[in-house]
Structure formats: structure tokens, C-alpha cells
Chains A and B, each alone.
Chain A
């Protein structure tokens, strides 16, 4: 059974139809990479999965839970879905450790010691154990984003969403974040990544989705699409970015 199923999802902001008819299935362990020009609705797709944006029509099922079912609480949904943002969005008034322990303590109800232990393990996993007592302002962009990944992993989610996780980073630093994402993929974490990093999509991705103007134009195996795009729009986009 697919981890995430989106069926005929529609979303408009005012008169602007951002998502026209999105149907997508993501299986467990898949690394689904969504690429496409700006404004094609890629970030909105992610936000529909964890109800940060309510959908206007269609259906989204995450790990058996329906996003449109009012009986499904936000909390249950979001505990299964971890999200990493382009602007990191770390909480500046908390240390790296506190950023990571906030959700386990407040949402999952873990005790202080348990939460700290979990957080230290995750920070070590992303290579930042020594930075635990430091504040975001003292960390570089790449380090902040890695803390953000640890923070999302602290919920022990079934799926990790990455919204252009490396776009705000200097080119030399994207490597350290992509390395963490690569490790997660190797551990068979289900991931959906909106990205401009074509290299990552090609080497690590298992399912490529090309979006333009609120619809999925082409999807399939990454290498196949990169080497031999079928749709005209896909060809045009790829020729510009590759």
C-alpha cells in the first residue's frame, strides 16, 4: 500500500488555481523528487500533505489517514510527516538541542531526559553533536538546516518532506545537507523532495515528478526522464536547467 496517495487534488488561492488536478502515489521507501519551474505549485503539494494548506477538492491519504476527514486531528497527521523548509525556520530563541526536543516533549509527551537522549542521537546522526548547546545565530546555514532535519526526524515520522531544502544555501555548503539526505535515503526513509538539485534527483531519487502550471506533466524513473524526456514542456525545462 502506498504511504501517500493524492487523488485529483485541487487548490486555489483566491482566483489563482495553484493545483489543478494532482494525482500522485508515493510508496514506502521511495525517494520522490518533484522538479519544475517556480510557481508550478511544487511547495503547495507538500503543504497539502500535512494540512498546512487545506485542499479545495480531491483526497490525500497519509499512512491510512485522510487529510479531508475532520475526525483526523492535525496532530496525528503531522506526527507522521516531518518537514524541512527552505528557510530552515529554526527557533532563534532556543538552542539546537531545544529546537530538536520541543516536539518530542510537547507533542509526544516524552520526559526531559528521554527527549534529550533522542535529540543528541539525532544531532550526532547529522554530524552536529558538539553544536547542541549553540543557538541558530551561531551556526552556519548548512548546520542550521541539518539541525532542522534532526528536528523533523525527532518526531520519528513515516515520511520526510523537503521543500527546496538546499535552495537557500551557498553552493559549497549544499553538499553537507545533501549528504544527510543521501544517508536518509539509504536507510529507506520515505522522502518527497521538492528540489532544484538535478544531480541529487538523478542519483538518489527513485521516482521523478515534473510539475508545471499546477499539473503533473511527466513522472517516472529519474534516469529515464532525464535522458529521454517525453513531453515538450519537460524537454524545455530540462534544457534550461541542465
Chain B
């Protein structure tokens, strides 16, 4: 039993962990980029844009991430879009992350006092100049702790990718226990700690940063 466990552990760390991390980072990049674009667009306060963006955010946050992943992987092929497991997971996680990212960016931008944009405008700066030189430099600092929390949530949510076949940490455990059910407990406990050791430091750092920025 022992060799089975260590072999499984090696596979988890050597193959599952990189997949989990890669999927999470790729999704996070989409989330940050998408969040920045949509969040800044919300700052325009254009009613049409706002409605579209709000609809996107509410829908993406109102459905379970799992359902979204299933839809992208199993459902889209029917409509002509075929994505493999890993891209499907990244797309679903990315879309979900971008919805959350939009709220983070919007919250940060709107938390900058109105006097700042007033002063910028009074100096003759146009909307884009005010956003780039005055608002965003201040808002970006406030976005960091929530984005760190989002990363923790993304790593946790990446475990759902196992349910569409992505060979991440959870999936490898599942495959290994099919041969040897006695491995359930040791492997589950091991990956619980693995996820914990990845996420806890980031959570703590995020909390400390948040206190310092307050």
C-alpha cells in the first residue's frame, strides 16, 4: 500500500499540481484583463454598456461554476464550438473570474473619492487622462487584496475541472483510487493539505496587505 501511496503522491505533485496551477493562473489572467476592461467601462456610466455588463456579471455569478464548465465542454460542441478539457476549464474559470474581477475593479475605482476626478477635470484632463493618471494608479493598489482572494477561490474552483476530465490534482486522486480504494483517505487528506499550503499563505498575505492599505 505504501508504494502505491507514494507513487500516487509523486504523480499528484509532478503532474497534477502543475496542471492545477497552470489552469488557475491562465484563468486569473483572463479574470484580471477582463475585469479591468469591464470595470473601467462601468466607470463610463453609459446606461447601455452598464446594462450589458451588469447582465454578464449577474448571470456568471448566479449559476454554479460547474454548470458553466459542463456547458462549455459538453454543450458548446452542439453549437459548433469544440474545446478540449483544459481549454474548457480555463474558459469557464476565466469567464467566472472576469465577472468577479469586474466587481473588484469597479469597487476599487468607485472607492476613489469624487474630488479626485473633479480636480483632474478642472485641470483640463479628459476622461481617459483622468482614468490613467489619477484614478487607476490609486485604484490598482486597492484591487490587490481582493484579487488575491479571487486567486485562492480560483485555485479551489479549479478542482471542478476534474469533473470534465482535466488531469489536475483531484482527477489524479480519482484515477488512482479506482485501482486501490484504500488510497482514498491518505490521498484526500494529502491533497487537502496541499491545497491548504498553496492557499493559506496567499490568504494571510492578502489580509495583511488589506490592513496596510486601509
Interface 1/0 per residue, A49-85 and B, CB below 8 Å: 0101000000000000000000000110011011101
- Verify if B133 is at the interface (C-beta below 8 Å from A): yes
Check if B115 sits within 8 Å of A87, measured CB to CB.
yes
Check if A79 sits within 8 Å of B124, measured CB to CB.
yes
Q: Given A91-B116, A92-B138, A93-B137, verify A103-B123 contact (CB < 8 Å).
A: yes
Within 8 A of B (CB), among A144-201: 148, 151-152, 155
Check if B119 sits within 8 Å of A91, measured CB to CB.
yes
Closest to A98 in B: B133
Closest to B132 in A: A106
Check if B116 sits within 8 Å of A107, measured CB to CB.
no
CA distance in complex: A85, B119 (Å): 8
Residue from B116, B120, B122, B125 with most neighbouring chain A CB atoms (10 Å): B122
CA distance in complex: A83, B137 (Å): 23
Please name 20 further chain A to chain B contacts, defined as beta carbons within 8 Å, in addition to the given A74-B124, A152-B122, A152-B123, sorted by A numbering: A74-B121, A74-B126, A75-B126, A85-B119, A87-B113, A89-B115, A89-B116, A89-B118, A90-B119, A91-B133, A91-B134, A91-B138, A92-B138, A102-B125, A102-B133, A103-B123, A103-B125, A106-B129, A155-B123, A155-B124
Chain B residues with CB below 8 A from A81, complex form: 122
Main secondary structure of the interface of A (DSSP, over half): mixed
Residue from A50, A79, A81, A87 with most neighbouring chain B CB atoms (10 Å): A87
Chain B residues with CB below 8 A from A90, complex form: 119
Chain B residues with CB below 8 A from A102, complex form: 123, 125, 133
Chain B residues with CB below 8 A from A155, complex form: 123-124
Sample (26) of A-B pairs whose CB atoms are under 8 Å apart = A52-B118, A74-B124, A74-B126, A75-B126, A78-B122, A81-B122, A85-B115, A85-B118, A85-B119, A85-B122, A89-B113, A89-B118, A89-B119, A90-B119, A91-B134, A93-B137, A102-B123, A102-B125, A103-B124, A103-B125, A106-B125, A107-B123, A107-B125, A107-B129, A151-B123, A152-B123
Main secondary structure of the interface of B (DSSP, over half): helix
CA distance in complex: A99, B120 (Å): 10
Check if B118 sits within 8 Å of A78, measured CB to CB.
no
Interface 1/0 per residue, B100-141 and A, CB below 8 Å: 000000000000010110111111111001000110011000
Closest to A161 in B: B122
Chain B residues with CB below 8 A from A74, complex form: 121, 124, 126
Check if A107 sits within 8 Å of B118, measured CB to CB.
no
CA distance in complex: A205, B120 (Å): 28
Closest to A46 in B: B122
B168 to chain A, nearest CB (A): 39
B196 to chain A, nearest CB (A): 36
Chain A residues with CB below 8 A from B123, complex form: 78, 102-103, 107, 151-152, 155
